[in-house]
Every structure is written in C-alpha cells, then in structure tokens.
Amino acid sequence: MAERGLMLVLHDVAPETWRDYRPFVEQVDAHGPVPMTWLVVPDFHRRNPLASHPDFCRMLESRLALGDELVLHGFYHADDQPPPRSLGDWFMRRIYTHEGEFYGRSEASARERLERGMALFRQLGWPLHGFVAPAWLMSEGTRSALRDTGLDYSSAPGCLYRLPDFQHLPAPGLVWSARSGWRRGLSWANAEWARHRHAEAPGLRLGLHPVDMRHAFSRDYWLRTLREELEGGRRAMTKFDWLRSQR
C-alpha cells in the first residue's frame, strides 16, 4: 500500500489569530514532531500588517526551522471589490462568505495582489511554494495570474493543483463551521463521514480555522483526529512535501 500523507493546515494565520492557535499548537508540539502548514495572511482584514508585528514574524521563522511550511493566503482575506451585481454573486459574497478576496477578481488585479504577497515573503526571507485563496474561491483571472508566478501549487477543497497547469491531485480536506452549536454538530458528522469515505486517499488535509480553537468540542476533535490518523498509519507532511511525493 502506498504511503498516505496527513496535512495539518492552519488557515487565517495572522497576529490576531495567534492567540486562538497558540494553545493548540503547543498541544500538537507536545505530541511529537508534526509538520504543519500555516496559511499566512499578509494584512488580515487590513488591521494586521506583518511588518508591524516582528515578534509574530520571528515565531513563524521558528516554525520554518522546525520543518513547517508557510503559504500565502490572500493578502487582506477580505472582499473589497465593488458590490455584487447578480444574485449568484450576491450569494457567494454575502451569504457563503464575506472573505472571498479573489472571487471575481480580474487578472491584472489578482496579479498585483499576488506579487505584493510574494514580495513580502521574499523581504522576510521566507520560502514560498503555494498560494491558497481565501475560502478557496478563485476567479479565472486569478487562475491565469497564478500560472505566471512560478509557484508550485494552489488548492481547492478536494485537491491540490500543481502549477502552472492546474494538474488535479486528489487530497480531500476536512473542515468545520464552528460558529454555533448546530454547525459544530453538523460539522462533526460531515467530517467523520469524509474520514470514512477517504480512508485510503493518498493525502488527507485537516483544515483548521481560528474559530475552531474557541470551542472545546471542535478543538478536541482536531487533536483526536490528528492522533488517530497518525496511529492509523498516515505520515504527517506539509502540503509542499506531500506534493513532491506525488511524482
């Protein structure tokens, strides 16, 4: 049987969300060496510019030294485009999410945001291999711009895309919506169904969000699932390391 990878992915990483993640990360570290993938937002909601938080940046650098990966996750992680003009766009941008920064963005606009994010990573001396759009929403313009970046991959809920050709590599992800009790209950059921369905998938992603860390039910689920998947034979890997294993 081919080796099965497990990717622990922290979404929406920013100075203000670190207080949510820190206890969880400490618990994972206590478990043993588990590589993590951190989806870093350069200026989360326009109030968290990384340049203004050197201690936070040094913490992320220490994670690189441990073998973790830092990924560009949008730039502001906020939808700052003109108001939606169609019912479909209104649903996607006002009901589904308010954070689809790269949904509907033109190629020129997407390219400018991508280049700014990549330049910041270079300035900070951080290696960069991947880009993940907030809420995994990418316009055709964004996809076109990504092809010219030289990055290795992007992702969607069920796969990683090897760039520049957007080669589809199945890597299903578990994700919760933890904002209310009924959402957490439904998320638990959906995640357990997905774990069973994708038990033999070559790669499985655990997609965590800051709000998951604010509730014991969801936080404990991720810790338990991580432990069970590792004990079941999966190997913890960063997303880029898993991508390189899929030659």
Question: Per-residue pLDDT averaged across 180-203, rounded?
Answer: 95
Q: What is the C-alpha separation between 247 and 243, in angstroms, rounded?
A: 8
Confidence of residue 89 (pLDDT cuts 50, 70, 90): low
- Decide which of 81 and 174 is more confident: 174
Measured between its terminal Cα atoms, the distance across the chain in Å is 16
Can you give the residue ranges of every domain in the chain? 5-245
Confidence of residue 228 (pLDDT cuts 50, 70, 90): very high
149 sits in the region (left: phi over 0; alpha: psi -120 to 50; else beta) called alpha
- Tell me the average pLDDT of the chain: 92
Query: Is the domain 5-245 a CATH 3.20.20.370 member?
Result: yes
What's this model's pTM, rounded to 2 decimal places? 0.93
Question: What separation in angstroms does the CA of 188 have from each of 51, 175, 185, 194, 225?
Answer: 37, 9, 5, 10, 11
Question: Per-residue pLDDT averaged across 147-169, rounded?
Answer: 96
pLDDT in tens, 44-64: 999 999 999 999 999 999 999
